[in-house]
Amino acid sequence: MKILVTGGYGFIGSHLVERLIQERHQVTVIDDLSSGSPPDARRKPAAYAMGVEDSKCEKVFEETAFDLVVHLANKPLPEEGTKDFDKVLHANNTGLCHVLYLAHKYNVKKVVVLSSYRVYGRQKNLPIKENAPLKPLDPYGSWYLMVEGVCGAYRKVGLRVVVLRLGSVYGAKHSEDFINQLIEENLRDEPGEDRTYTDLVKDYVHVSDVVEAIAKACERQTSNVLNISSARGVSRSELVETADAHMNVFKEGKYTFLQCPDEPKIVLDNKRAMTELEWAPEIPIEEGIMKTIEWHRNNGRPTEKTGPLEAAEGLGARILANANTYRYLENLMACLFFLLVTYFMQKNIAINVDFLIVYIVVINAFYGWNQGRVAIALSVFAYLWLKVNLDDVAVANVFRDPSHILYMTMYFIVGVSVGYVMNRMKFEKSMLLKDLKEANEEMQFTNEMYERSIEIKNSLQSTIENYEDSLGKIFSVVSKLDKAIPEQIFTEAASVYAGILKAENVHIYLLNSSRHLRLAAVKGGHRYHKSMLLEEFSFLPSVNVEKKVFVNKEMVDEYPMVCAPIVQEGRTLAVVFLDDVAFRNLTHQFLNTLKVLSHMLSNTISRAAEYEKAIHDKKYHGNTFIMRAEWFDKLVKEKHKASADSEMPFYLIEFEAEKKTDEEIYSIVSKIIRSTDFIGEVGGGRFAVLLVDINEKDATTIEHRLCERGIHAAPKETIKGGL
C-alpha cells in the first residue's frame, strides 16, 4: 500500500516507518526534522522536509494517491503561558486540519490519528473504557479532545478516521517519559543522588506494541476510537524496583516517592482494541525496561552538553554569552572613542568638529535603531561633558540655552533619520531574503517532485517495456516446442524470470515427490543445494500446500527474497527462488507479474508433455526414452549455448553397448542416472549420457557404475558453465 506517515522521523514515527518498509509498503514521510532526523539505513522512504501545515503538502497528496495516512506530526506543547505555547498549538491545529482536509479531498481510504489517555482526566472506575466521560485536566488533554472532535467531524463527511488513545508510551529513541529520564540519570558518570518524585500510577505501553497496533489499524476495517495500552497500572516506585531488580544499574541514592491522592490513576481498558484489531500487547514492563536500558547503553546520546562558555565562571563569561550586552559594550566603547577624538581636536588643535554626529550615524548604520537611540542618549551626555570641561559651562546653563537645546535636538533628528532609513533597508532586505528563501525552497520542492515523477514514469515505462519484452520471451519459450526441445523449457524460463522481474539470481526446483526438490535450472550463481527436502526451509511446505507466494519480509539471510510455486491442475510441479531483486521493484505489480509468469510456464509445461506424447515414436527408440541422434544432437547444442549464461556444468559421457537392445540399454542406464539427465544416440552404434548440473566427482562415479554394468564409456566431454 501507499502510506504517508507525517512526523515519520519522530519517536513513534521512526519505529513505524521501519516496520512498514519491512513489510514492503511504499512509504512517504513528511517531517520538519524538529524532533528527529532521517535514518542512516539502506532502505529509506521517500521524504519531504517540511511541516504538515505547509501548502506544498497538497502537491505530495496530488502526486501520490495514498491509500492510508498515519498522522504523527504533533509537536510537544510547552508550558502554558510561555511565548511558544500559542505558536506550537496553532501549528498542531493547522497541521491536523490540513492533513484531514487533504486526505478527504484526495480520497484517502483511511487516516490513523493518535490521541492520549490525558483526555480522560480523573476517573472513578478502572480500567477506563472508551465510552467513559472525557474530563481533561491539562492543556495536553484539552488539545487531544479537540483533535478527536475534528476527527469526528470528518467522519461525518465520509472520511474513515481511526483514533488510538495511547497509554504512556516508552522505549528506545525517546527521552521525554519518566522511564527514559530515570535510565539517563543512572547511566551518567556521576555519583548517585537523592531524588524525589510524585508516585504516579500510569498505564505504560512499549513503542513496539504501539507500532503493531497502528499497523493493525491500517489493515482492519475499523474507524472507531480505541485504547492502546497494557491494561496494567504501574507506579513510579514499582518501575524503580523492577528496573533495579532485573538490571541492577541504579546507583546508590535514595528515591523518595510522594503520595498524591489528587493525581489521577491511569489504567486503560484495551479489550475493544484486542477484539477489533486482533491485537494484544506483547512486551511486559520488565522486558520493555530491559530493552530500553540496552538501547541507551548502545546508542544513548550524552545527557549533558558542556562547552567553554558553560564551563567558564565569573562576570566576563556571562557578559560574553549575552549578545545584547556585548553590543551595549561596543556601543559604549565607540562613544568613548569619538568623545575623546572630539575633545582632542577641539582642545589641542582648536578645530571645532563634532565627531559625535559621526558616531550616531555609524551606530545606526551597523546596529539599527535599537542601539541608535542608546547612541543618541550617550551623545547627549558626551555633549554635556564637553561643554562642562571645554567651555566651563554649568550643566544647568546648558539646558537654559536654546542653542544647546537645538544642537542636542539635532542629535535626535540625525539619529532618528538614519535609524529609520537603516531599519527600512534592513526590513526590505529581510523580506527579499525571505522571498528568496521561499522561492529556493519552492524550487527545491518542485525539483524533488519532478525527480519523483521521473522515477515513477521510468518505473512505469520499464514495466511496460518489460511486459512487452516478456511476451516475446515467453513466446520464445513456447516456440521451442516447434523445434522439439522442451528439455530446455526450465532453462529458458529462468532467463525469462531474471529478465522480466530484474532478478540477478534465479533457481527453479522440480518437485519430484511430496517432499523432495531437485534443481532444474539456475540463472546466476549457485546459492542453494542442488537437491533438498521441503522441510529444509520453513516456508516451503506453505508454498507447496497453500500455493502462495512467499516474500522474505524478515530479511532472513538463508532464505530467498521471493519464492513462488508453479502449479498445474492443483499440483505443485516446481518452485522458483528469486534473489538480488532491487528493493524498489518489490511491489504488488511485481508479485502479480510473478504469478502470471508461473501460470504461463505451467501451461507451457503441460503443452510440452502433450507434445512429447505426440512425437514419442519419432523422437525416441521404441518404448524407451533414448533419444534419436537428430534430437539428441539438438539438445547437446542447446546445452552448449545455455552454458554461456549459466553456472550449471554439463558432462557428456559416450559409451558403446554391443549386442544389447535399446530396451536393455535403457533398463541399465536409467537406473544409474537421474531423472533430469538424458540418454541419446550419437551415431555409429554409439550412445551418450548428458549429465546436467553435476560435479566431476559424481560424473566419474556414474561412469564407473556404467562400466560395472557392461557399458564401456569413452572419455567424457565437459561443458562447464561458469566454473
pLDDT in tens, 109-157: 999 999 999 999 888 888 899 999 998 888 888 889 999 999 999 999 9
Rounded Cα distance between 493 and 661, Å, is 36
Dihedral sign, Cα of residue 375, residue 378, residue 384, residue 388: negative
Express each pLDDT in 243-256 by its tens digit: 776 555 555 556 67
- What SS3 state is found at 562? strand
- How remote is the C-alpha of 357 from its chain's centroid? 61
| % of the chain beyond a pLDDT of 90 | 14
At residue 480 the predicted structure's pLDDT band, cuts being 50, 70 and 90, is very low
Q: Where do the domains of the chain lie, and which CATH numbers do they carry?
A: 2-170+205-230+265-282 (3.40.50.720), 316-434 (no CATH), 484-614 (3.30.450.40), 617-719 (3.30.70.270)
- Report the chain's C-alpha Rg in angstroms: 40
Is 83 exposed, middle or buried (CB count within 10 Å of its CB: 0-12, 13-18, 19+)? Answer: exposed
Give the per-residue pLDDT at 647.
56
Rounded Cα distance between 346 and 348, Å, is 6
Is 460 exposed, middle or buried (CB count within 10 Å of its CB: 0-12, 13-18, 19+)? Answer: exposed
Instruction: Return the axis-axis angle of helices 588-614 and 489-501, rounded to nearest 10°.
Output: 160
φ, ψ (nearest 5 deg) of residue 88: -65, -40
φ, ψ (nearest 5 deg) of residue 719: -110, 105
Give the per-residue pLDDT at 165.
93
Instruction: Return the axis-axis angle of helices 178-187 and 285-299, rounded to nearest 10°.
Output: 50
* Bridge partners for 29 per DSSP: 5, 47
- What SS3 state is found at 247? helix
Rounded Cα distance between 370 and 349, Å, is 34
Query: Residue 210: how many CB atoms within 10 A of its CB?
Result: 24
DSSP 348-377: II-----THHHHHHHHHHHH-HHHHHHHHH
Express each pLDDT in 457-468 by its tens digit: 666 666 555 555
Express each pLDDT in 321-334 by its tens digit: 456 677 888 888 98
Express each pLDDT in 545-572 by its tens digit: 888 899 888 788 889 999 999 888 888 8
Give the per-residue pLDDT at 322.
58
Express each pLDDT in 212-230 by its tens digit: 999 999 888 888 899 999 9
Is 242 in contact with 287 (CB distance < 8 Å)? no
Rounded Cα distance between 214 and 19, Å, is 10
Dihedral sign, Cα of residue 458, residue 460, residue 463, residue 464: negative
Could you list the beta-strand ranges (E) of 589-649: 626-627
Express each pLDDT in 673-682 by its tens digit: 876 688 888 8
When the pLDDT of each residue in the chain is averaged and rounded to a whole number, the result is 80
Give the per-residue pLDDT at 312.
42
Rounded Cα distance between 9 and 32, Å, is 9
pLDDT higher than threshold 50 for residue 481: no
Query: Which three three-digit cell numbers place residue 698?
Result: 559424481
Whose CA is closest to 234, among 259, 202, 274, 210?
202
Query: Which three three-digit cell numbers place residue 590?
Result: 511485481
Give the per-residue pLDDT at 708.
81
Query: Which three three-digit cell numbers place residue 156?
Result: 461525518
Identify the residue whose cell numbers are 486540519. Answer: 97
**700-703-705 Cα angle (round to 5):** 115
Whose CA is closest to 174, among 293, 52, 21?
293
Express each pLDDT in 273-332 by its tens digit: 999 988 999 888 888 888 887 787 777 544 444 444 444 444 444 544 456 677 888 888
What is the rounded end-to-end Cα distance, in angstroms, of the chain? 42
- Residue 631 falls in which region: left (phi positive, over 0), alpha (psi -120 to 50) or beta: alpha
Rounded Cα distance between 173 and 206, Å, is 12
Is 73 in contact with 51 (CB distance < 8 Å)? yes
Rounded Cα distance between 677 and 696, Å, is 15
